[in-house]
């Protein structure tokens, strides 16, 4: 992919959030056994994780995530995400607050779901098991960091590559988020 390209580096681009979540059915049980659980048996989500996610989504820094904010941020990972998919993620008020996310996510009862593995899929849309250099370049450009050089990519991969095999796999991605 060339610097400044506006489409993700994949021939099998994700076109909607619903398509990506439908792949969850084929996920193996190995991920689910690694996922910490909350007191309700659902996925453990910490207040700090919710805060970090909210800060990422709150593009305007107004303590509210609007339809436009959500579409802008998720569109980085899900090319051509439909407005319908984005609306499904918003509260009835049409906005998300950090407090609403806390109330929704902390006491969840979602089982057999690995949020880290699902997030990894956004970086590995061709399901190779690794995040490609092209995808890193694409995501960082879409996040507004500009074009990355090969040296920049080497540094990013080196920092995230916990097992030192020269690539970023799910285990590396998981270690980076801990």
Residue 35, C-beta contacts closer than 8 angstroms, at least 6 positions apart: 43, 44, 113, 114, 115, 116
Is the model's pLDDT at 33 over the cut of 70?
Answer: no
pTM: 0.71
What distance in Å separates the CA atoms of residue 159 and residue 136, rounded to the nearest whole number?
13
Query: How confident is the model at residue 8, as a pLDDT?
Result: 58
Average pLDDT value for residue range 21-41: 59
pLDDT band at 23 (very low <50, low <70, confident <90, very high): very low
Instruction: For the chain, give the mean pLDDT.
Output: 83
Query: How confident is the model at residue 80, as a pLDDT?
Result: 81
Residue 11, C-beta contacts closer than 8 angstroms, at least 6 positions apart: 126
Query: How confident is the model at residue 28, as a pLDDT?
Result: 39
* pLDDT single digits (tens) 109-136: 999 899 999 999 999 999 999 999 999 9
Tell me the domains of the chain and their CATH numbers: 36-113 (1.10.238.10), 114-178 (1.10.238.10)
Is the model's pLDDT at 59 over the cut of 50?
Answer: yes
- State how far Cα 75 lies from the chain centre: 11
Query: How confident is the model at residue 98, as a pLDDT?
Result: 96
């Amino acid at each position: 992919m060339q610097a400044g390209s506006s489409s993700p580096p994949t021939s099998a681009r994700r076109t909607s959030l619903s398509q990506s979540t439908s792949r969850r059915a084929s996920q193996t049980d190995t991920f689910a056994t690694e996922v910490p659980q909350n007191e309700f048996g659902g996925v453990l989500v910490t207040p700090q994780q919710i805060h970090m996610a909210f800060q990422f989504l709150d593009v305007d820094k107004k303590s509210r995530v609007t339809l436009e904010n959500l579409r802008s941020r998720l569109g980085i990972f899900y090319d051509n995400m439909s407005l319908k998919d984005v609306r499904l993620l918003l509260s009835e008020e049409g906005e998300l607050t950090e407090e609403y996310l806390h109330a929704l996510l902390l006491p969840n009862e979602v089982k057999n779901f690995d949020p880290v593995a699902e997030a990894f899929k956004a970086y590995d849309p061709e399901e190779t098991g690794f995040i490609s250099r092209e995808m890193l370049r694409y995501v960082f450009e879409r996040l507004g960091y500009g074009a990355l050089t090969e040296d920049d990519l080497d540094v990013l991969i080196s920092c995230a590559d916990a097992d030192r095999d020269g690539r970023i796999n799910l285990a590396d991605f998981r270690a980076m988020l801990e």
